[in-house]
Amino acid sequence: MYMSKGYLIQFLDGLVPKAFQSAKKIEDNIYTDPQFACISARITLEEIIDQVFNEESIVLRFDKLFDKIIHLDNEGYLTQEIKRSMDTIRSLGNRAAHNSNFNDIEDAIKVFKATYQIAKWYAEVYSINTSVPEYRNPKPSTVTSNSKEELVNEVLNQLKGFNPNLTNIRVDEPDKSDKADKTQSESSISDESKKKTNLIKYKLKETESYLVTELKRLQESSQEAIESPENFSELKDYLHVDRQIQLDLEKMLEKENSLTRQENRPSLILLSGSVGDGKSHLLSYLKEKKAHLIEDYKIYNDATESFDPHKSAIDTLNNELDGFSDQKINKSNDKIIIAINLGILNNFLEADHGNKTFHKLKKFIENSNVFQSDIAAYYSENEFNILSFSDYQTFELSENGPDSSFFSGIFNKVFNFGENNPFYQAYKLDEERDLKSIVHENFSFMANKDVQKKVVRLLINTIAQDKLVITARSLFNLIADLVIPRQFDMLNEFEWGPIEKLNYTTPNLLFDRKERSYILKSINKLDPINYRTNLTDSILIELNTLDDWNHIIDELISEEISYQWLDQIAKLRSEFKEEGENFLYSSEEEFFKTVIRTAFLTSDRVHENIAPKSFDQYFNYLYSFNTYDIKKIEEFYKKAHEAIYAWKGSPKNKYIYINSNGKFKVAQYLSLSPYIDHLKKNEQGKLSSFTSNITIAFHSGDASRKAFLDVDYSLFKLILEVLEGYCPNKKDEEDAIQFTEFIDQLMEFGNYKDELLIHIPEETKLFRLEKNQFGGYLFEREK
């Protein structure tokens, strides 16, 4: 049970008690439930603003929080800083309320700080004797002795990367025999001159498949999924693909080793990230392959057992980081690498350490801006270094569009037909035993480079569309899902008919198994059978009207394995026709789906015809904004400008409807100027760390008053639809709440106080109402 604690915003209790009750919930939940913390901050803000309205005797005629803030700002009650703080809480509170997957501690800390600033402002303006403390970051929750052990275990489990919601993951002991049996592995699959190494070191029964056994090692439930620096198996060695974050860490270590040996000073390297993002694998790789870089360092990983299980995470960090305390840092030569969640680190910095302090470390964390949205993949300052996994994308951007060397590298490792590929060795062993199944056929299908390229593109699309975080662990699990049907049994396959077998082929496992993982659920939305184009319509018409399906297959499918799948069905249908029997409709439907899905994955022509054009357009603009291509930036701003007027409606150029309901529509003059000073040029050739949204801003001539908007892929698609004539409905406005609020901000830049246009659509009449030079009003019909 939680004990009471000294809240930062305790001073608000005597001023706005209801606001304080909500503010307590921010600090209590900030590290455990960031979504609830952000929503509580929005409630706190509303309570404070309503109190301001009461203090100022303002008639409360506004329902929306946005309108209340705008009114206070327009009437001069707010400073620019307080207005920004209110916008931060309102925006992030909205995002938390509308996104069930919201779990961003960084945003929660932002709203906590913004809430403090607003509470302090209120106390200074509306109270005389209230004492306001200096700002501090939120404290970790304290507990009674009855629940202390439970909370410590919870924190330790967080530190170890354990997630109690993932009940299908077994946290087993590392396989000690794996390291004992380890031989010299091949680091490159392209060097065919190297001697083949036998990587399959076990025997199976005649009816058991080596390929299925090896592929199951990729599943999240497998022992191989458990990472630690002590567990760098032969398989992990083979599957390793260099990533930019690894290369940057190696450069950081080389620099630190040189400096510490010259200056005899300490060195702390913080690796921040989330569960499954590859921290453990990266550390185990360095220990195995680049041991000279870390030989002087003690390593603490969020999945290691180096931390004492009888101590809390805070106590352990207090001991291990002793050499980086303010009292000892000038005399210490400790060298530590620690992979840690930023929330736990922040808890540590705010905890009571007795006679020790960590002000220098805390100041470094603040200077690193690790909680900010700016892209700064790594940051160093004297003895301290931090490298954030969240600032590295899993794909790259170039002028040719998005691509992922990581995803492509993993697919190539698993599906290449090289002799030093353990999966291909397993495939060959099964072949020698005359053992073949749908898994072997799916494996051969995925070995096709064109197929791999299309799947990588789909993965990047899911990242953009649904903001997925695809870790190495989830990617390996996906590979197993694309090849092995659920509850697959070698013996049962012989009972399948051709249509049933078709259901277990990779194209259908990819698009029709959304229940198997969060990635497949997202890919299901991109199923090519859901896109109607002239090409898909013509394919379906031919399949429904022509007797010769082989002609269609010959034209669409060139990949050998999938051709055999479909050819078998086409021949079976011909046999039915010859015997005067009808082919089952359900069988035809399954066949049609598989034809389109397979063609989408194997044919560039079909893929380019079906894939949404918005995908390439968005990433082309995203690259242009990150590289400061001014022509493309100008082009995008023009689209955004048009979309703003199209969203609200416009009776004539530079006029936008304030309201568009009923027989009368009222419009105001609104002139918008683009603002681009916030944009920075990324000097990389191919971008591996970059801003993942397109950020635009407009003002009406006064650049000090401007409105910003982050355009993600989903909003970009909606903007394109609006430009093509689509009228947004209520759901669109709710889904695109940031865009609607952005437009609301822009509307405040308009000339509504001096001039209005009244439009009567049924009579096609337009009238102007404006102030004259003598303070009166002029009403006349617009020519």
Beta-carbon contacts of residue 55 (< 8 Å; ≥ 6 apart):
126
Mean pLDDT is highest, among 74-88, 299-313, 399-413, for 399-413
In this structure, what token pair is assigned to residue 205?
A: 């029964």
pLDDT > 60? residue 647: yes
Q: Most confidently modeled of 186-190, 191-195, 609-613, 658-662?
A: 609-613
Pick 641 or 772 by higher pLDDT.
641
- Find, among 523, 497, 525, the residue nearest to 586 by Cα: 497
CB 368 within 8 A of CB 379: yes
Supply the pLDDT for residue 320.
85
Query: Residue 494 — very low, low, confident or very high, per pLDDT cuts 50/70/90?
Result: low
- Please name which of 296, 398, 326, 404 lies closest in space to residue 616, comparing C-alpha atoms: 398
Choose between 275 and 126: higher pLDDT: 126
Crossing angle of the two packed helices 438-446 and 422-432, in degrees rounded to 10 = 140
Please state, in angstroms and rounded to a whole number, the distance separating the CA atoms of residues 559 and 552: 14
For residues 231 and 775, the model is more confident at 775
pLDDT tens profile 168-187: 333 333 333 333 333 333 33
| CA 629/CA 626 separation, integer angstroms | 8
Q: Which tokens is 572 given?
A: 């079976």
Which pLDDT does position 188 carry in this prediction? 37
* Angle, in degrees to the nearest 10, between helices 145-159 and 313-320: 60
Distance CA 696, CA 177 (A): 56
Distance CA 640, CA 217 (A): 48
| Per-residue pLDDT at 15 exceeds 50 | yes
**Type of residue numbered 19:** A
Residue 707 CA, chain-centre distance (Å), reads 24
**Do 672 and 698 meet the contact criterion of CB atoms below 8 Å apart?**
yes
Q: How far apart are CA 51 and CA 43, in angstroms?
A: 12
Looking at the predicted structure, is the pLDDT value of residue 342 above 90? no
| pTM for the structure as a whole | 0.72
The domains located in the chain, with CATH, are 10-142 (1.20.120), 244-391 (no CATH), 406-614 (no CATH), 648-781 (no CATH)
Three-state SS across 128-190?
A: CCCCCCCCCCCCCCCECHHHHHHHHHHHHHHHCCCCCCCCCCCCCCCCHHHHHCCCCCCCCCC
Decide which of 309 and 752 is more confident.
752
**Percentage of residues in the chain with pLDDT exceeding 90?**
40
Please tell me the distance from the alpha carbon of residue 339 to that of residue 269, in angstroms, as a whole number.
8
Burial of 588 from C-beta contacts in 10 A (0-12 / 13-18 / 19+): middle
On the question of pLDDT at 559 being above 70, the answer is yes
Helices 105-126 and 342-350: angle between axes, nearest 10 degrees: 40
% the chain with pLDDT above 70: 84
Reduced 3-state DSSP string for 343-385? HHHHHHHHCCCCCCCCHHHHHHHHHCCCCCCCCCCEEEECCEE
Query: Strands 298-300, 335-340: parallel, antiparallel or unpaired by DSSP?
Result: parallel
CA distances from 715 to 193, 402, 622, 711 (A): 51, 19, 13, 6
| Distance (Å, whole) CA 224 – CA 207 | 24
Q: What is the DSSP letter of 516?
A: S
Backbone angles phi, psi at 270, to 5 degrees: -100, 125
Does residue 721 register a pLDDT over 90?
yes
| 269 neighbors 253 (Cβ within 8 angstroms) | yes
pLDDT of residue 425: 94
CA distance 398 to 133: 49
Which has the higher per-residue pLDDT, 517 or 161? 517
Q: Pick the more confident residue, 369 or 704.
A: 704
